[in-house]
Chain A
Amino acid sequence: MATNTREAHGDLVLENVTKEFADFTAVDDLSLVVPRGSFFALLGPSGCGKTTTLRMVAGLEQPTHGKVLIGQTDITGTRPHERPVNTVFQSYALFPHLTIRENVAFGPKRRKAADAVRLADDALELVQLSHLAGRKPVQLSGGQQQRVALARAVVNQPEVLLLDEPLGALDLKLRRQMQVELKRIQSEVGLTFIHVTHDQEEAMTMADTVAVMNRGRIEQMGPPERLYDLPQTAFVANFVGQSNLGVGRIHGTDGDFIVAEVSDTKVRIPKQRSEIHDGEVMFGVRPEKVRIHESQPVATGNDVKATVIDVSFTGVATQYLVTVPSGASWTVYEQNLDVEPISLRPGDDVWLSWDPTHAFGVPVDEDGRKAALAEDGA
């Protein structure tokens, strides 16, 4: 049985997986296929069920319902050591009483690999830590420990490698560096990586596919660009980047667009960019897609009067926080292309415009309604 499941081979498949703890449902009827060899990110706020999902794949938790498969092999109910799955833990969980080499050789030795030590040394070379092989974990910096944890998992050539917020404890600069390195290592070893994170930028820069999780369910899944360009729920619109949102009612169509009214302003959304085609819709547009004008622009057909609340100059761009007629706050990024950027001050009246092909429409839900009203640009 043990060797059997350990030899499993193929895509990772979750079928209707549910995990209930005593008082709440952490993961709710989740189905998912992660193609073999891909870099997959599970993105979501803390408590969304992403770590529980990971632990069920590792075998550290068992699902209440549903199945976990690798290829054709059902590994539900098997124990962690019976699965071809390895984890890079958030706190690294390096064995403090073993040297770095012994830590990395731990897995190969348990699988009775004849050349465990050589495998470990190769893995350490991959993460560029060969020179520290004789040290103990406490003698290493956080970034080095992180790489040891990675080597300790990679050395086993698992079918699926799980990374639980592996960069969470590193400082920003090191984190960027490790993102690049993780990506390099993944393409070098060609293993399936599942990366759990709450950092949308991390997920977007590294993964081929990102699944956004919220309240135990996957809200949307796809390549990062697509998630950003066309969010399908209000939650995704706000969790992956920022969005300016407004609740509106659909009035009709205009060619390839549907027309909705948001607080007495008519806005247009491309038909294929809206999830909703009649009734209430949540209208959205990304902050960098919005232009800001000191006087009403001519013939854009999509403009809104607003009042500046706050201006912050960030160098490359200037970020404006404005109030729109619905009462919501919107954010606008204006690139500083001119030598003398427009000098707007809080309290000034301005007009906002955007290309209607950039707008998107998502269903109105409680998350979105709240976001639309309390949107503070943060």
Chain B
Amino acid sequence: MTRARSWVSDHIAMIIAVAVLVYLFLPVLYTFVFSFNNYRRSNIEWVSDGSPTLKHWANPCGAPGVCPALVESIKIGAIATLVATALGTLIAFALVRYVFRGRSSTNVLVFLPMATPEVVLGASLLTIFIQGFRMDLGFWTVVIAHIMFCISFVVVTVKARLQSLDPRLEEAASDLYANPTTTFLRITFPLALPGIVAAALLSFSLSFDDFIITNFVSGNETTFPKFVYVSYTRGIPAQANVIGFSMFLIAVLCVIAAQVIGSRRRGVAA
């Protein structure tokens, strides 16, 4: 009895941790299970007489609208990622590598979008698009908005990577006859690259998953999250579960692959 109690108190943190992980995965599991539901009208209740079906996995585009929405989300995510990563990386370089007037105001300007609730960002963009710039809401307004909120996250990620680099490496390069351009191309950029890639992946996942801001500025444009939200009242097609769960799988596989490659790179000193 006391032994059992001491085992529990020794492992309490780990027990809680495992419970929390189960809690985190519960809705994912739900999404997964209901991707096999052989429902007729709406995918809310498990159809008890129907056995699990693979038909939604066999035809993920089977529900009207789901695949076009997915394609829009991927297109928006790709463009937003490309632009935000480029712009954010430049800012991060400036902040880490240079001392200049306005450095702290720049830090504040980069921080502010992250500290602003999404409804406010969405509302303000909607207002400027309609009242100020008089732009038609749609694909491009969504892209513009996504770039805006991704930039800050890119800056933070790349900045952290740059700050962890030894400044002596660049000195060593210039000491070894590399001019500033060569130093950047051969040393600084390759070393910053993992941070830049991480920032790009982060941007993509933020953009892909965004609903609140997108909903404000998208007009008739339908992204994947918006599709799911809008079809909620009618019941979400199981194909959305298939796609949602596949995104999860792809992401997890990417993370694992990155980890494995990373540990290979770090090398087992033979």
- Interface residues of chain A, those whose CB is within 8 Å of chain B, are 6, 58-60, 79-81, 85-87, 89, 91, 93-97, 106-107, 110-111, 135-136, 138-140, 152, 156
A110 touches B171 (CB 8 A): no
25 contacts between A and B (CB under 8 A): A60-B171, A80-B171, A81-B174, A81-B178, A81-B179, A86-B176, A91-B168, A93-B169, A94-B172, A95-B169, A95-B173, A96-B169, A97-B190, A97-B191, A106-B178, A106-B186, A107-B176, A110-B177, A110-B182, A135-B267, A136-B265, A138-B267, A140-B269, A156-B176, A156-B177
Given A93-B166, A139-B267, decide whether A81 and B177 contact each other with a Cβ distance below 8 A. yes
Is the C-beta of B175 less than 8 angstroms from some C-beta in chain A?
yes
7 extra interchain contacts, Cβ-Cβ under 8 A, other than A96-B191, A106-B173, A139-B267? Answer: A58-B175, A60-B175, A81-B178, A86-B176, A87-B175, A107-B177, A138-B267
User: CB-CB < 8 A to A60: which residues of B?
Assistant: 171, 174-175
Is the C-beta of B266 less than 8 angstroms from some C-beta in chain A?
yes
Given A93-B166, A95-B169, A97-B191, decide whether A139 and B269 contact each other with a Cβ distance below 8 A. yes
Is the C-beta of B123 less than 8 angstroms from some C-beta in chain A?
no
User: CB-CB < 8 A to B168: which residues of A?
Assistant: 89, 91, 93
Given A97-B190, A97-B191, A138-B267, decide whether A89 and B178 contact each other with a Cβ distance below 8 A. no
B173-203: CB near A (< 8 Å → 1, else 0) gives 1111111001000110011000000000000
A89 touches B174 (CB 8 A): no
User: CB-CB < 8 A to A140: which residues of B?
Assistant: 269
A110 touches B267 (CB 8 A): no
Taken together as a complex, chains A and B put the C-alpha atoms of A361 and B239 apart, in Å, by: 94
Taken together as a complex, chains A and B put the C-alpha atoms of A292 and B235 apart, in Å, by: 100
B147-182: CB near A (< 8 Å → 1, else 0) gives 000000000000000000010110111111111001
B175 touches A80 (CB 8 A): yes
Report the nearest A residue to B172, measured CB to CB: A93
Q: Which of B227-270 contact A (CB under 8 A)?
A: 265-267, 269-270
Which of B174, B176, B187, B190 has the most CB atoms of chain A within a 10 A radius of its CB? B176
B175 touches A85 (CB 8 A): yes
Which of B175, B269, B270 has the most CB atoms of chain A within a 10 A radius of its CB? B175
Taken together as a complex, chains A and B put the C-alpha atoms of A79 and B179 apart, in Å, by: 9
B174 touches A79 (CB 8 A): yes
Taken together as a complex, chains A and B put the C-alpha atoms of A96 and B166 apart, in Å, by: 10
Taken together as a complex, chains A and B put the C-alpha atoms of A378 and B51 apart, in Å, by: 85
Taken together as a complex, chains A and B put the C-alpha atoms of A185 and B172 apart, in Å, by: 21
Taken together as a complex, chains A and B put the C-alpha atoms of A94 and B173 apart, in Å, by: 9
User: CB-CB < 8 A to A79: which residues of B?
Assistant: 174, 179
Given A91-B166, A93-B166, decide whether A81 and B175 contact each other with a Cβ distance below 8 A. yes
In the assembled complex, how far is the CB of residue A157 from the closest CB belonging to chain B, in whole angstroms? 12
User: CB-CB < 8 A to B175: which residues of A?
Assistant: 58-60, 80-81, 85-87
Report the nearest A residue to B179, measured CB to CB: A81
In the assembled complex, how far is the CB of residue B185 from the closest CB belonging to chain A, in whole angstroms? 12
User: CB-CB < 8 A to B191: which residues of A?
Assistant: 95-97
User: CB-CB < 8 A to B269: which residues of A?
Assistant: 138-140
User: CB-CB < 8 A to A94: which residues of B?
Assistant: 172
User: CB-CB < 8 A to B172: which residues of A?
Assistant: 87, 89, 93-95
Taken together as a complex, chains A and B put the C-alpha atoms of A140 and B191 apart, in Å, by: 19
In the assembled complex, how far is the CB of residue B193 from the closest CB belonging to chain A, in whole angstroms? 9
Taken together as a complex, chains A and B put the C-alpha atoms of A261 and B270 apart, in Å, by: 67
In the assembled complex, how far is the CB of residue A62 from the closest CB belonging to chain B, in whole angstroms? 13
Taken together as a complex, chains A and B put the C-alpha atoms of A97 and B270 apart, in Å, by: 18
In the assembled complex, how far is the CB of residue A322 from the closest CB belonging to chain B, in whole angstroms? 46
In the assembled complex, how far is the CB of residue A142 from the closest CB belonging to chain B, in whole angstroms? 13
Given A60-B171, A138-B267, A139-B269, decide whether A110 and B166 contact each other with a Cβ distance below 8 A. no
Taken together as a complex, chains A and B put the C-alpha atoms of A81 and B177 apart, in Å, by: 4
A93 touches B177 (CB 8 A): no
The contact of B266 among A6, A58, A138, by CB within 8 Å, is A138
In the A-B complex, the 10 residue pairs with the closest CB atoms = A110-B177, A107-B176, A93-B172, A93-B168, A80-B174, A139-B269, A81-B177, A80-B175, A139-B267, A87-B175
